[in-house]
């Protein structure tokens, strides 16, 4: 059976496509080195629109109004620009109420884009631009350690990682944060206190790597201006041991926290990347495997939810579980040495 893969890798070639949601300008150049916070592409987008009904204002037909208009799509107009004048003794005029760009003309109407904003796309990972996607973005490649998470608040930053965790089920408290950590990425445990998120903001942290987060903190975390990643989801789960081991042994290294919002269909996931120097490219991370004995797996649900285990054997046919359900299953051995049957759909391969 095909198996999804959770990436917890000490060293891999990591390739990420970074694309704008709308067409724009690609700023990065092919083969250029970028850092996670570099802007690789930009797009201008209109915050709002203004529709000018010229025909109605002048009391003429749509076709007549179209003939009067001396503007075309793309024209940049300043505020109060005259765009049409009617006829008669005291002719009525149609002027632009605000500065804007002409988005559409026709049917006796003019649609203006006003209040233009800029959408900036950051690299998300430090690496080399290996491909330019015209008008949309780039493909970046790097080598380093990679840990995928389950929840992110959509922000990206990088900094030196400080480890405040003693064990996988550590809980981060406000008192553990102090000015010495200003500007760093914090490897924290479970977060259940809104004060922690506030204190992290005051310290201008570059990122918070959590095992899990209490659901009541989601709105505040979404508003945070620094990236927050929950590696093992929303709730009170400890950090899985593989991620804990890998991250805690890489403290003091420069770490990129790309807290992308989990997109189950598009494939975007929050992730932590620690760029590492390599002499030659390590093997790329694989997204799909086939279940096989000997694999390291993570249990997605009880029993032992979130724990890392070793797949001992895939059971033939269907296995009756303690819940009474019958499903294709595998025998796994947890790190504590316990052997248990787990439905295959509750497993993901770590690799």
Partner 1 sequence: MPTSLVETNSLLAVDVGASATRAVLFDVVEGRYRFIAVGQAPSTAEAPFKDIGLGVRAAIEHLQTVTGRSFLGAERNLIMPTQADGNGVDMFAATLSAGPTLKTAVAGLLSDVSVQSARRLAETTYARVVETFGLHDHRKPEEQIDSLLRVRPDLVILTGGTDGGASRAVQKVIEAVGLACYLLPSDKRPAVLFAGNQNMTDEVQNLVGKLTPALHFSPNVRPSLETEDLDPAMRELAQVFAVIRKRQVKGVDELETWSGGHVLPTAYGLGRMIRFLERTGSSGGVLGVDLGASAVTVAAAVNGRFRLGVYPQFGQGEHLGNLLQLTELDDILEWLSLDIHQNLVRDYLYQKALYPAVLPATREDQAIAQAVARRSLYLAMRTARREFPPQARAVRADLMPPFGLILAGGGPLGDAPTPGQSLLLLLDAVQPVGITHVMLDRNSLLPLLGVAAEKNNLLPVHVLESGALQNLGTVVSAVSGAGYGTPIVRARIQYADGNEARAEVKLGGLEILPLGLGQSAKLFLQPLHRTDVGNGPGRAWNGVVNGGALGVVIDARGRPLTLTADPVRRRELMKKWQWTLGG
Interacting positions 223-262 with partner 1 (CB under 8 A): 233-237, 262
| Cβ at position 67, least distance to partner 1 in Å | 20
Polymer length in residues for the chain: 351
Q: Does residue 134 interact with partner 1 by CB under 8 A? A: no
Q: Per CB under 8 A, does 291 bind partner 1?
A: no
Separation CA 69–CA 85 (nearest Å)? 9
Return d(Cα 339, Cα 316) in angstroms, integer: 17
Site for partner 1 in 303-322 (CB under 8 A): 303, 305, 321-322
Pick from 72, 263, 280, 283 the residue near partner 1 by CB under 8 A.
263
Choices 19-27, 86-94, 182-190, 240-248; region in contact with partner 1 by CB under 8 A: 19-27
294 binds partner 1 (CB under 8 A): no
Interacting span for partner 1 (CB under 8 A) from 34-42, 100-108, 164-172, 273-281: 100-108
Site for partner 1 contains 72 (CB under 8 A)? no
* Partner residues linked to 140 by β-bridges: 16, 129
Q: Is residue 325 within the footprint of partner 1 (CB under 8 A)?
A: yes
Contact of 59 with 76, CB cutoff 8 Å: no
29-33: Cβ within 8 A, 24+ apart: 29/129, 29/132, 30/129, 30/130, 30/131, 30/132, 31/128, 31/129, 31/130, 32/128, 32/129, 33/126, 33/127, 33/128
By CB under 8 A, tell whether 327 contacts partner 1. yes
Q: What contacts 26, CB < 8 A, 6 or more positions away?
A: 40, 41, 132, 133, 134, 135, 136, 137, 138
Rounded least distance, CB 265 to partner 1, Å = 6
Binding site for partner 1 (CB under 8 A): 1-2, 4-5, 21-23, 48-51, 103-104, 107, 109, 111, 150, 215, 233-237, 262-267, 269, 287-288, 300-303, 305, 321-327, 341-346
């Amino acid at each position: 059976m095909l198996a999804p893969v959770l990436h917890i890798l000490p060293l891999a070639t990591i390739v990420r496509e970074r694309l704008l949601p709308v067409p724009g300008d690609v700023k990065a150049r092919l083969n250029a080195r970028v850092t996670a916070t570099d802007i690789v592409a930009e797009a201008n987008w209109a915050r709002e629109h203004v529709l000018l009904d010229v025909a109605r204002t002048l009391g003429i037909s749509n076709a007549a109004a179209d003939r009067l208009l001396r503007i075309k799509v793309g024209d940049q107009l300043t505020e109060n620009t005259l765009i049409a004048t009617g006829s008669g003794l005291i002719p009525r005029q149609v002027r632009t109420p605000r500065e804007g760009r002409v988005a559409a003309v026709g049917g006796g109407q003019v649609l203006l884009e006003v209040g233009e904003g800029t959408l900036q796309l950051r690299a998300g990972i430090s690496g080399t631009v290996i491909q330019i996607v015209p008008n949309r973005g780039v493909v970046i490649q790097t080598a380093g350690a990679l840990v995928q998470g389950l929840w992110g608040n959509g922000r990206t930053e990088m900094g030196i990682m400080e480890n405040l965790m003693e064990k996988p089920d550590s809980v981060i408290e406000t008192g553990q944060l102090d000015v010495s950590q200003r500007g760093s990425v914090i490897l924290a445990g479970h977060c259940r206190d809104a004060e922690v998120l506030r204190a992290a903001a005051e310290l201008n942290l570059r990122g918070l790597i959590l095992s899990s987060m209490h659901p009541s903190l989601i709105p505040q975390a979404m508003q945070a201006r620094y990236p927050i990643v929950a590696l093992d989801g929303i709730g009170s789960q400890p950090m899985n041991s593989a991620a804990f081991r890998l991250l805690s042994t890489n403290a003091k290294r420069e770490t990129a926290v790309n807290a992308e919002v989990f997109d189950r269909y598009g494939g975007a996931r929050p992730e932590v990347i620690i760029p590492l120097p390599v002499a030659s490219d390590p093997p790329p991370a694989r997204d799909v495997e086939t279940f096989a004995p000997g694999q390291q797996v993570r249990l997605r649900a009880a029993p032992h939810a979130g724990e890392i285990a070793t797949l001992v054997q895939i059971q033939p046919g269907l296995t009756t579980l303690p819940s009474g359900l019958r499903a294709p299953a595998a025998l796994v051995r947890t790190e504590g040495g316990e052997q248990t049957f787990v439905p295959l759909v509750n497993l993901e391969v770590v690799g």
